[in-house]
Amino acid sequence: MALAKEIMGISLVEKSSLISSSKVFLNPNFYQKENQLCVGRQFQGRRNLRTRRVLRQSTMAAISENLIKVVPEKAVKFKVRAVVTVRNKNKEDLKETIVKHLDAFTDRFGRNVALELISTDIDPNTKGPKKSNQAVLKDWSKKSNLKTERVNYTAEFVVDSNFGTPGAITVTNKHQQEFFLESITIEGFACGAVHFPCNSWVQSKKDHPGKRIFFSNQPYLPNETPAGLKSIRERELRDLRGDGTGIRKLSDRVYDYDIYNDLGNPDKGIDFARPKLGGSNNVPYPRRCRTGRVPTDTDMSAESRVEKPKPLYVPRDEQFEESKMNAFTTGRLKAVLHNLIPSLMASISTNNHDFKGFSDIDSLYSKGLLLKLGLQDEMLKKLPLPKVVSSIQEGDLLKYDTPKILSKDRFAWLRDDEFARQAIAGVNPVNIERLKVFPPVSKLDPEIYGTQESALKEEHILGHLNGMTVQEALDANRLYIVDYHDVYLPFLDRINALDGRKAYATRTIFFLSDLGTLKPVAIELSLPQTGPSSRSKRVVTPPVDATGNWMWQLAKAHVCSNDAGVHQLVNHWLRTHACLEPFILAAHRQLSAMHPIYKLLDPHMRYTLEINALARQSLISADGVIEACFTPGRYCMEMSAAAYKNFWRFDLEGLPADLIRRGMAIPDPTQRHGLKLLIEDYPYAADGLMIWAAIEGWVRSYVNHYYPDSAQVCNDRELQAWYAESINVGHADLRNAEWWPTLATPEDLISILTTLIWLASAQHASLNFGQYPYGGYVPNRPPLMRRLIPDENDPEYAVFHADPQKYFFSALPSLLQATKFMAVVDTLSTHSPDEEYIGDRQQPSTWTGDAEIVEAFYDFSSEIRRIEKEIDDRNADTRLRNRCGAGVLPYELLAPSSDPGVTCRGVPNSVSI
């Protein structure tokens, strides 16, 4: 259809040669009346690059021929109008209000906002970009007091009839205060309205003297850039890169790299010093956004910290928009971190007791926790706290919402089948593997960590295999493992030396039943070997008596604690947040805003740099929430770096590759997604493969539209620079790894982009938004453990034997640790009201000028809606016992849409929390 439109457009242009010159150039209304005659690039679709070039050449030839016939000796001037949409702040402080009124006053006297259009053509006189006259926004002073969310201002340009198509616009802010420019639309050109999606803060000229540049929504590959835009395209990228020096101001828009050298604060003492992550082979790590702060007084290689609540630098356009800031992350998380947690500590620390029983935990949801609030804490009741802690009512009671894990069956977490189900349908369903050999073997150096031999024996599990031998179960793909032995063992000596922390390196063996459900059959608990004859490994199996039952519950709790640490530090933080940051930095530095791949990636980069900066400041920093609440304590980020060094591979981060790596699927071209799941009812994988296929299909349509052959990929200098910099600078410590995919063909590009979009959207969602629904009930998923499991020779065994429930709760996090953790993970599990979900786009009709791409995106959106319906149907299918049954939670973490709040569903476009 698009091809037909383009051919029809050519014939219309050819017919337009019959129109007299006076009608074309002396009647300015002609440009609005004859929009249908325009075959400009602004809104025409293209089937492929070759067709587009041929049509463009023939079109331009026709137009040129007509111009030769009808252009008068002197070009005629006519007016075009700009509609400029500015987004107001909902709340202003006193200083902002005063400056706003001052700007409104001085706007009348020339301290205004000025615009300048730039053509896609070269000015034959200056040999530079062809520019219009400067126009100023009208009615700024009159509209300054409007309380609406958006205000539309207008400006008028006078341009020559040979100006050409506008491709860029500059904005100069002569006011004192920045403003958020959402979009600009130019009306009056023959090709119809020209859209400029801006979505950016425009700084005052006193802060940034240069003009801000915005490009139209028409995408261009670098070698197709119109002559009038080439130098501007290059200059804009240079400005965004900066020069790698200087302390960044919050108003800057500079994207650069640094190592993680700001997690500790050695000036506060040795307990607050932390190793630098990145920049070495021993402790490799992805790069973060550079802030350029001065070094600490104590350690010149450590960057000084900006302590909460002062903000860390991220480029201005990466900071949360006001609706996000107020409704969710910055406002609520800071309220929790800076106000609620200190109040919890003041109320509980003097009597930081253990939970005495299940009723103590239940009371957090039913009765609430009494806070000892003073007058200075009255403001706490007025803060934008998350829903879970919004019930700080009269009497200073803090009530938590009941986590979803308790919603259908409050005792579900005690059952073995639920413990196993969460390995494939919980908040961390990405560590389970098919067991290939029994007993499992460690990959750690035996000279450092002792024997690699497992304590697991055939007799431990033989009675739980439905009459099968171990080898038969292996051959039938019926044995699975969650193995944290090699992740934790190198750190256990240091972890167990911490006050109030005790951990094992665990392995859990599962058997796949005939019904398609898993059951745990053995748990191996390992400690570092202290001597040649030391007993460092033990195996716990399903109980046959009362004592064994409590041992089994403690063993499962230690497995869950291991799982919580790996989930948070490796799968959630490292593999989605940290490893994506270099690709985002490189995209802003190397891909122009008019590059089609930048336009594709843009919604999947939203807010990630800001949330990562907030995490460095308050969550993963020394004495931050993660250290305080998770078993590894001060060694959390070292464990994350070890996983990056030993485990992370970009080529295996896509869902199909990851499932094959873990032995959870095998290639099978006869299956729906080219894979056969070995556990058919594996909710994360089954739902994830549908979303993966939808993303891949959308990306394939997009890439093939712009890159019909490998030459186009190889010759795209911006694209190649982006990918090379992402690896060689952003992931510099692993840049020499042989597993990095090449970028030489359209298929390479499709694979890389699909992986990035998957990680930013569905993978992150599956790991993040179930944190409170599953972890908000601490016994189900304790983030840390404080006691080991005693054996009969231990002094603590008598205490355990006398009151096993009391011992169990003394091993779980304390009341203060639990309530801090619950408040934070509730915030991290909350969707903000302005969330943009997969299949959605801000300004869907104007983000690109390619009509075929818009059509392809709507197809993608429709497929996402279909997937959501299929997920709902699966959750109602009683044959799928891992997501449907009495007391079983449906698996909705990959259901694409969600309401605001803690919903345990919803797939946002980006890593935004």
- Out of 261, 326, 428, 768, the active site residue is 768
Q: Tell me, what amino acid is at 851?
A: A
User: Omega into 309 within 30° of 0, i.e. cis?
Assistant: yes
Q: What is the DSSP string of 393-409?
A: -TT-EE-PPPPGGGTS-
Contact 481, 432 (CB under 8 A): yes
Contact 796, 790 (CB under 8 A): yes
Burial 257-283 (b: 16+ CB within 10 A, else e): bbbbbbbbbbeeeeebbbbbbbbeeeb
Contact 162, 194 (CB under 8 A): no
Distances from the Cα of 355 to the Cα of 146, 363, 371, angstroms: 54, 11, 17
What sign results for the dihedral spanned by CA atoms 391, 396, 398, 399?
A: negative
Helix ranges, 228-379 (H)? 230-241, 322-327, 334-335, 341-348, 358-366
Q: What is the DSSP string of 146-203?
A: --SSEEEEEEEEEEETT---EEEEEEEE-SSS-EEEEEEEEE-STT--EEEEEEEEE-
Q: How many Cα neighbours within 13 Å face the side chain of 689?
A: 21
What sign results for the dihedral spanned by CA atoms 55, 59, 60, 62?
A: positive
d(CA 639, CA 641): 5
- Out of 588, 595, 731, 764, the active site residue is 764
Token pair belonging to 749 = 């590009």
Residue 350: is it exposed, middle or buried by C-beta count within 10 angstroms (0-12/13-18/19+)?
exposed
Residue 544: is it exposed, middle or buried by C-beta count within 10 angstroms (0-12/13-18/19+)?
exposed
Q: How many Cα neighbours within 13 Å face the side chain of 573?
A: 26
Q: What's CA 295's distance to the chain center, in Å?
A: 29
Q: Mark whether 208 is an active-site residue.
A: no
User: Omega into 275 within 30° of 0, i.e. cis?
Assistant: no
Q: Mark whether 595 is an active-site residue.
A: no
Provide CB contacts within 8 A for 106, sequence distance 6+. Answer: 175, 176
Neighbours of 81 (CB within 10 A): 14
Contact 273, 647 (CB under 8 A): no
Contact 18, 867 (CB under 8 A): no
d(CA 774, CA 671): 32
CA nearest to 307, candidates 67, 655, 616:
616
Q: Mark whether 604 is an active-site residue.
A: no
- The position carrying tokens 């530079």 is 128
Provide CB contacts within 8 A for 8, sequence distance 6+. Answer: none
| Helices and strands (H, E) in the chain, number of each type | 34, 21
Q: Mark whether 875 is an active-site residue.
A: no
Token pair belonging to 566 = 């790996």
Q: Mark whether 567 is an active-site residue.
A: no
User: Which residues are catalytic, by number?
Assistant: 572, 577, 764, 768, 913
